Amino acid sequence: MKHADIRHDWSRAEALALFDLPMPELVYQAQVRHRQFFDPAEVQVSTLLSIKTGGCAEDCGYCPQSAHFDTGLKASKLMDADRVIAEARKAKEAGASRFCMGAAWRSPKDRDLPKLEAMISGVKALGLETCMTLGMLEQTQADRLAEAGLDYYNHNLDSSEAFYDKIITTRTYQDRLDTLQAVRQSGMKVCCGGIVGMGESRTDRADLLVTLANLSPQPESVPINLLVQVAGTPLAGAQALDPFELVRTIAVARILMPGSYVRLSAGRESMEDGVQAMCFMAGANSLFYGEKLLTTPNPSENHDKALLARLGMRIEAANPSPAPSATHHPMVPNTALSGRERVPSA
């Protein structure tokens, strides 16, 4: 599929028009786009490990690792590389193709980089893709991580720019965009998404997806997280998001960013299987394996394997196969969306 088929000029009005479509039509459009770039029966699997937990100086209202909130979480120091590599080996044996490492920092210190570089090289030696999320990066730090072999860097925008200061005050939206620019400049791939269910409006969700889609190039991986409410954080007790709105968000993300992996991320532990299945039908094609995402619960590997088996889906191999041609799926043409009836105009 040519990159010319990927747009970087989406508007809020277009995204909201997609959100407003009847669910069958929205999911159909997402499926058409999904099949142009991916095998619809495959799901990429990553494992996420907290390599440094708690004590973060940021005040992100959703995060139990913030030093600003009393959540009962005990802070820990940065893990040794050998321990991280051992966890990565277990993840590979369980079927993961990417190993993600997260540290609760505002930004890493240069003295931490040698240990981080050792983790990267050790995990890559196992044949896994590598990803890290370490907070804000200076260009020199991004360059060093890239030189060590880091494949992906995760740095979420979290929300729309308009809603952002309602959940975070210690880091600006532009700070996040600057880190993404440093990651791109270093040659690493970008993992960047957001969180839904924080009290934001549908317009905020549309604006977040438009911001992501209009990055050039678009993020290779787009995690869509459902807020996990943790006692002691400001967002504990927030009104739960309608599950169908999550499905709509996944579908619009797929249409706007057809060549990206759209990851169904945090919040799956509380989701019914039927909701997760709808998310896969709407274009989600990545998830996290393992019973914990940093510090919050996640479904067990056995549960995820059983769910994928029930859906007739499979885990993507480390070297993914190309998307099938339309002849394999005659009911859904492998053609670009076109015409007023397909993608509403602004």
Which class for 309: exposed (0-12), middle (13-18), buried (19 or more C-beta within 10 A)?
Answer: exposed
Catalytic residue, candidates 35, 205, 263, 268:
263
Q: Which of 35, 98, 100, 176 is catalytic?
A: 100
Residues 189 and 24: their CA atoms lie apart, in Å, by 33
**What DSSP assignment string belongs to 60-108?**
-TT-TTBTTS---PPP-PPPPHHHHHHHHHHHHHTT-SEEEEEE--SS-
Element containing residue 190 per DSSP (H, E): strand 189-191
The answer to whether 279 is a known catalytic residue is no
63 is catalytic: yes
Place of tokens 């039908």: 281
Out of 56, 98, 144, 279, pick the active-site residue. 56
The catalytically annotated residue of 131, 171, 254, 268 is 131
192 is annotated as an active-site residue = no
How is residue 120 written in tokens?
């990267």
* Cβ neighbours of 46 (radius 10 Å): 26
- 63, 176, 205, 279: the catalytic one is 63
Contacts with 225 (C-beta within 8 Å, 6 or more apart), sequence order: 156, 193, 194, 195, 196, 265, 266, 267
Report the catalytic residues: 56, 60, 63, 100, 131, 191, 263
